[in-house]
């Protein structure tokens, strides 16, 4: 054989190009739907704000200036100041950081645990599968937010509490999704072929099944992010999550509620608005990605 | 953990040589070994489709007391209507399904008795090529990844893998430039070639071909059939060819087993089965093959009624509900495979009573 091309070590660009072709279909769907791109744009922006919060924030979010109490939006304080004279824009920027960290950690944790539980339950079935699914049933039998409140009360307030609680109530969603994906993929020919090759069960799960079942999981990730943001904010709003003076969307809205009747709307409106935009971004992205799940489009 | 085989072990040298086509396969040596390559005894596979708390479970009798053997270098055809249990027997032979009862011997060793590690080793000696090539290739793997994955399971060292992958591609008639394509970028015929290459990575002794050409276009069908025949010669392979394309079976096989509702009802040399089919069901099957020469056209027998459900197979002879020549005993007593000449066996009361 004279042709040397495949024997050469392929360049890194070649490897990346080949790898990206694997996601041709997903990329095509994203491009096809401009609203999805809007959602993606919002998420990128919010993420950048979260990462560069210390650079972007014009003031210290915790600095008290009693002379500047309850000032309306102006060129100096774009979103005004709160009842302690803190700059709301700076606080909203830091809150973005905190809420994104909470939501991302919680959903990642839920996804990681859920995917493994679901994969095991789907692949092995039998008694292990039954036990896993029944335990998840029990978790899901409680109304999610009531369960979250109960857990938050017993664990005490704080960032880690919110992360654990939100992750806990989301594990069943990921596990269920993964299980049903695995169940449908398990009977595919390439899995049987892998068995014929003498591949071990763990190898089949991690190398063949999970990579093929991961797309719907990513869609669920985007969707769960919006719920996680909402749950984190709601827990803080009712005083079970992040405690003042730390800046968090939900607790900021809560702090401003008392001033709404007196017309000082900016205390609650700005954090609420930013939170709504972030949630919208994740929802738009998830909605566009949901096409990926449609079996009619798949073929 | 896989053990890396000794590069100079006789086995490995022979495999390499066979692989590169350096030594011709020698049927004489193989024939002198009396143990058949694969022997299946009374293989029974029941699928529980519905568990009941009271009363018996609802069970599909996918395979019932199936016995057959495959000699080295030969091709055994497995024919029958869809739903008759052909695929199930193939999967049972590889223990891809855990059989309800029975025995499967590969080179005299019972694959149903061995433990995980040994099972994996034994499976590699038999490979399966599936009906739907698109389904049998991982959609997220390039052709390169598929072959590398297979070759690493076949215990090739990382220096040899790429060379072997190229050899495999060449032997199934694909180009090196196809290595970095994904399954959806190939045609059905090319996908099936990749699946065949993947199976060959293990230098298997037996290939179970589950309707390998059923989902392909007519012109591609002949190409793949031709390829399989070439590979069989080159690598001294034995085949179990599952198919309901009888003209192809006649062309490809040495012996044929006919299945009906999970049972083998007739088995014998291909020439015997096609020239003097004994079982009424086999006759119907063979009559339904289109004959090119109109003078040869036999009187066409056709089947009455539908194929009965495999959950409640008819009592007695399973074929009696549709049999044109049934008599009293047929719905009472189950016929057993009775030997005729040349290893020809038939399960039919009429044939058995007349030959006694
Ligand atoms: N995993 C399974 N669960 C339940 N029933 C099955 C399963 N696989 C096959 N069957 C049933 O077993 C019978 C034989 O199927 P199969 O071996 O695929 O037939 P063939 O390959 O001859 O078309 C059919 O009635 C089919 O419905
Ligand atoms: Mg079949």
Q: What is the pLDDT of residues A13-58, one digit of tens each?
A: 888 887 777 777 677 766 777 788 899 899 999 999 999 999 998 8
Question: Is A193–B124 a contact, with Cβ atoms under 8 angstroms apart?
Answer: no
Largest CA distance in chain B: 68
The two tokens of residue A148 are 């979250």
Provide the 8-state DSSP code for A209.
I
pLDDT tens, residue by residue, B202-243: 999 999 999 999 988 888 999 999 999 999 999 999 999 999
Query: How far B124 CA lies from chain A's nearest CA (Å)?
Result: 6
Number of domains within chain B: 1
pLDDT tens, residue by residue, A216-249: 898 899 999 999 999 999 998 888 888 878 889 9
Extract the residue ranges of chain B whose pLDDT is less than 70. 1-33, 290-302, 304, 354-356
pLDDT of amino acid B32: 45
**What is the CA(B198)–ligand 2 centre distance, in A?**
20
**Domain assignment of residue B83, yes or no:** yes
Name the residue of B51, B60, B241 to mutate for ligand 1: max ligand atoms within 8 A of Cβ: B60
A188, A189, A199 member nearest B153 (Cβ): A199
Provide the 8-state DSSP code for A188.
S
**Domain assignment of residue B303, yes or no:** yes
**Domain assignment of residue B25, yes or no:** no
pLDDT tens, residue by residue, A257-267: 888 888 888 88
How far is the C-alpha of B18 from the C-alpha of B230, rounded, in Å? 14
User: Residue A213 is inside which H or E element, if any?
Assistant: helix A210-237
B123, B130, B139 member nearest A212 (Cβ): B139
Evaluate: CB of B225 within 6 angstroms of ligand 1.
Answer: no
pLDDT of amino acid A157: 82
pLDDT of amino acid A58: 87
pLDDT of amino acid B295: 58
Range of the domain at B51: 38-353
Atom 3 of ligand 1, nearest CA residue = B47
Query: How far B197 CA lies from chain A's nearest CA (Å)?
Result: 12
**Domain assignment of residue B27, yes or no:** no
pLDDT at residue A288 greater than cutoff 60? yes
Question: Is A198–B150 a contact, with Cβ atoms under 8 angstroms apart?
Answer: no
Q: Hey, what long-range contacts does A143-152 have (CB within 8 A, 24 or more apart)?
A: A144/A169, A144/A231, A145/A231, A145/A234, A148/A231, A148/A235, A149/A235, A149/A238, A149/A240, A152/A235, A152/A240, A152/A241
CATH number of the CATH domain containing B141: 3.40.50.300
3-state secondary structure B182-200: CHHHCCHHHHHHHHHHHHH
Evaluate: CB of B141 within 6 angstroms of ligand 1.
Answer: no
Evaluate: CB of B81 within 6 angstroms of ligand 1.
Answer: no
**Domain assignment of residue B169, yes or no:** yes
**What is the CA(A39)–ligand 1 centre distance, in A?**
46
**Domain assignment of residue B18, yes or no:** no
**Domain assignment of residue B30, yes or no:** no
ipTM over 0.90? The verdict is no
**What is the CA(B60)–ligand 1 centre distance, in A?**
8
**Domain assignment of residue B33, yes or no:** no
A7, A207, A211 member nearest B162 (Cβ): A7
Query: How far B126 CA lies from chain A's nearest CA (Å)?
Result: 8
pLDDT of amino acid B298: 52
pLDDT tens, residue by residue, B154-195: 988 888 898 999 999 999 999 999 898 888 889 999 999 999
pLDDT of amino acid A262: 87
Give contacts of A195 with chain B, Cβ < 8 Å.
Answer: 94, 96, 123
pLDDT tens, residue by residue, A75-123: 888 888 888 888 999 999 999 999 999 999 999 999 999 999 999 999 8
Name the residue of B51, B61, B82, B88 to mutate for ligand 1: max ligand atoms within 8 A of Cβ: B88
- Chain B CA closest to residue A7: B162
């Amino acid at each position: 054989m004279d042709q040397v091309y495949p024997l050469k070590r392929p360049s890194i660009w070649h490897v990346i190009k080949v790898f990206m072709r694997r996601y041709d279909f997903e990329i095509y769907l994203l491009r096809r739907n401009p609203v999805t791109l809007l959602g993606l744009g919002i998420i990128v922006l919010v993420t950048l704000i979260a990462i560069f919060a210390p650079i972007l924030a014009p003031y210290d979010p915790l600095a008290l200036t009693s002379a500047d109490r309850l000032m309306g939006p102006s060129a100096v304080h774009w979103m005004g100041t709160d009842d302690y004279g803190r700059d709301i824009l700076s606080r909203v920027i830091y809150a973005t950081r905190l809420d994104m960290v909470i939501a991302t950690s919680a959903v990642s944790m839920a996804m990681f645990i859920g995917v493994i539980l679901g994969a095991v339950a789907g692949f092995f079935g039998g008694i292990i599968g039954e036990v896993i699914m029944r335990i998840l049933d029990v978790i899901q039998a409680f109304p999610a937010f009531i369960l979250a409140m109960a857990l938050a009360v017993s664990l005490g307030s704080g960032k880690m509490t919110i992360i654990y609680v939100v992750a806990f109530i989301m594990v069943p969603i990921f596990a269920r999704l993964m299980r049903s994906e695995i169940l449908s993929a398990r009977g595919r020919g390439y899995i049987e072929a892998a068995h014929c090759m003498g591949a071990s069960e763990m190898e089949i799960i991690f190398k063949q099944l999970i990579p093929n079942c991961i797309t719907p999981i990513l869609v669920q990730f985007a969707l769960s992010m919006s719920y996680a943001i909402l749950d984190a904010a709601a827990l803080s709003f009712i005083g079970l999550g992040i405690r003042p003076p730390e800046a968090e969307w939900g607790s900021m809205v809560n702090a401003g509620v008392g001033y709404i009747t007196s017309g000082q709307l900016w205390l609650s409106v700005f954090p609420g608005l930013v939170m709504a935009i972030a949630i919208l971004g994740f929802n738009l992205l998830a909605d566009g990605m949901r096409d990926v799940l449609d079996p009619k489009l798949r073929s | 953990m896989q053990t890396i085989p000794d590069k100079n072990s006789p086995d490995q040298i022979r495999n390499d040589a066979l692989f590169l086509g350096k030594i011709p396969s020698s049927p004489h040596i193989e024939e002198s070994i009396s143990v058949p390559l694969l022997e299946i005894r009374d293989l029974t596979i029941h699928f529980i489709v519905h568990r009941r708390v009271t009363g018996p479970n609802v069970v599909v009798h996918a395979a019932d007391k199936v016995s057959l053997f495959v000699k080295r270098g030969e091709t055994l055809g497995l024919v029958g209507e869809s739903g008759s249990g052909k695929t199930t027997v193939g999967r049972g032979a590889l223990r891809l399904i855990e059989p309800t009862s029975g025995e499967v011997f590969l080179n005299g060793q019972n694959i149903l008795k061995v433990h995980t590690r040994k099972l994996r080793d034994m499976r590699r000696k038999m490979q399966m090529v599936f009906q739907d090539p698109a389904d049998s290739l991982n959609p997220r793997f390039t052709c390169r990844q598929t072959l590398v994955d297979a070759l690493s399971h076949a215990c090739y060292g990382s220096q040899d893998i790429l060379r072997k992958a190229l050899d495999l591609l060449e032997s199934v008639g694909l180009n090196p430039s196809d290595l970095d394509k994904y399954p959806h970028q190939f045609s059905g015929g090319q996908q099936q070639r990749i699946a065949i290459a993947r199976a060959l990575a293990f230098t298997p002794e037996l290939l179970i071909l589950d309707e390998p050409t059923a989902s392909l276009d007519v012109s591609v069908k002949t190409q793949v059939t031709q390829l399989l025949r070439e590979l069989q010669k080159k690598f001294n392979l034995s085949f179990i060819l599952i198919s309901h394309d009888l003209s192809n079976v006649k062309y490809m096989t040495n012996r044929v087993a006919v299945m009906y509702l999970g049972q083998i009802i007739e088995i014998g040399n291909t020439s015997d089965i096609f020239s003097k089919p004994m079982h009424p069901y086999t006759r119907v099957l063979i009559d339904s093959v289109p004959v090119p020469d109109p003078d040869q056209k036999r009187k066409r027998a056709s089947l009455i009624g539908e194929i009965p459900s495999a959950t409640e197979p008819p009592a007695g002879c399973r074929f009696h509900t549709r049999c044109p020549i049934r008599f009293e005993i047929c719905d009472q007593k189950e016929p057993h495979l009775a030997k005729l000449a040349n290893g020809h066996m038939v399960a039919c009361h009429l044939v058995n009573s007349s030959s006694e």
